[in-house]
């Protein structure tokens, strides 16, 4: 029993002596690694602030700016830690760990590829700026005002009162109709007049009727074009530029134009024809009208 206790005590002593000797040998490198790490963290914070200041000059997206400055910070800290571990001659173990992390990262990339795609699309949208908060847009058949642009999705409030969340991948890969880009919108109104009207007179009266609508653009000309010979009318379109992209203003201009044109036509005896319908009773001799089937056909179909 004494022999076993003595052997264990001797073994422990040898191990402690070996560890102490190894610690003494590695102590200079350990101190150097700690110094590198501490200094690296201080420099990293300075680089983060500097990069944030620089990126803010290029992009005004606060979320995106913080993201990029944080990425730069962590990349630099990673270099610092790898350098410190290399001083301790642990770089081979770190390389093995990084290889394992790379395989794990690849697996996670496949598992979360949609999230990654939306994330990258959000970054590109932030740089290209095809839309911004407050813009009136049409994206994926949804029309409304942009409420928020995140790194993962874009939120739109439609004019029907619904909130639509569209993944940034869909925003980036599909056409965007941005009505706020030029800060104006065009309202096209289709009208038809009787074949008996003087067309030059109709054009002048129509243009005079809408020219005093205050929401119309002062720099863009209102245009008038006859389009076609219809079944019961000569059809034309009048195109008016609205000085605001807002939906309420756009609708108001259309409403005011219809009222003004109708009043002008009534005052000048200009006729807007009603659709013509032909009633075919198919009456045969000896049959009552109340017993016959009525067929209704448009004039254009005979």
DSSP 225-236: EEEEE-SSSEEE
pLDDT at 267: 94
Distance CA 192, CA 198 (A): 13
Q: What is the pLDDT of residues 213-250, one digit of tens each?
A: 999 988 899 999 999 998 889 999 999 999 999 999 99
pLDDT of residue 142: 92
Work out the pLDDT band at 300, boundaries 50, 70, 90. very low
Question: Taking the domains of the chain in order of start, what are their residue ranges?
Answer: 2-111, 131-178, 185-267
Place of tokens 């209704």: 296
Q: Which CATH class is domain 2-111?
A: mainly alpha
Q: For the residues 14-39, what does the mean pLDDT come to?
A: 71
Closest-CA residue to 129 (of 115, 146, 114): 146
Section 290-297 average pLDDT: 55
Q: Tell me: pLDDT of 76 over 70.
A: yes
Distances (CA, A) of 49 to 38, 41, 61: 17, 13, 16
In this predicted structure, what is the pLDDT of residue 185? 92
Q: Average pLDDT, stretch 2-28?
A: 63
Question: What topology does CATH give the domain 131-178?
Answer: SH3 type barrels. (2.30.30)
Query: Given this chain, do its domains 2-111 and 185-267 carry the same CATH topology?
Result: no
What CATH code would you report for 185-267?
3.30.70.100
């Amino acid at each position: 029993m004494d022999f076993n206790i003595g052997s264990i005590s001797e073994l422990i002593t040898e191990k402690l002596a070996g560890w102490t000797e190894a610690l003494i040998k590695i102590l200079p490198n350990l101190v150097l690694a700690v110094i590198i790490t501490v200094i690296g963290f201080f420099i990293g914070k300075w680089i983060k602030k500097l990069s944030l200041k620089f990126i803010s000059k290029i992009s005004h997206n606060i979320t995106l700016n913080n993201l990029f400055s944080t990425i730069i910070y962590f990349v630099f800290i990673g270099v610092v830690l790898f350098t410190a571990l290399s001083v301790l001659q642990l770089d081979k173990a770190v390389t093995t760990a990084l290889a394992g992390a790379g395989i794990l990262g690849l697996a996670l990339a496949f598992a979360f590829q949609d999230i990654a795609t939306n994330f990258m699309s959000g970054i590109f949208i932030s740089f290209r700026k095809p839309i911004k908060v407050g813009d009136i847009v049409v994206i994926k058949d949804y029309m409304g005002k942009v409420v928020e642009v995140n790194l993962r999705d874009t939120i739109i409030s439609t004019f029907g009162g619904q909130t639509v969340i569209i993944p940034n991948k869909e925003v980036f890969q599909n056409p965007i109709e941005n009505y706020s880009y030029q800060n104006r919108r065009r309202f096209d109104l289709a009208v038809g007049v009787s074949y008996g009207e003087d067309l030059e007179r109709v054009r002048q009266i129509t243009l005079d009727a809408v020219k005093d609508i205050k929401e119309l653009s002062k720099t863009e000309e209102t245009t008038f074009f006859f389009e076609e010979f219809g079944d019961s009318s000569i059809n034309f379109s009048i195109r008016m530029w609205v000085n605001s992209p807002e939906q309420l203003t756009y609708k108001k201009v259309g409403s005011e134009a219809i009222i003004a044109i109708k009043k002008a036509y009534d005052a000048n005896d200009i006729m807007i024809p009603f659709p013509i319908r032909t009633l075919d009773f198919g009456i045969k001799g000896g049959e009552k009208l109340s017993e016959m089937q009525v067929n209704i056909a448009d004039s254009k179909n005979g």
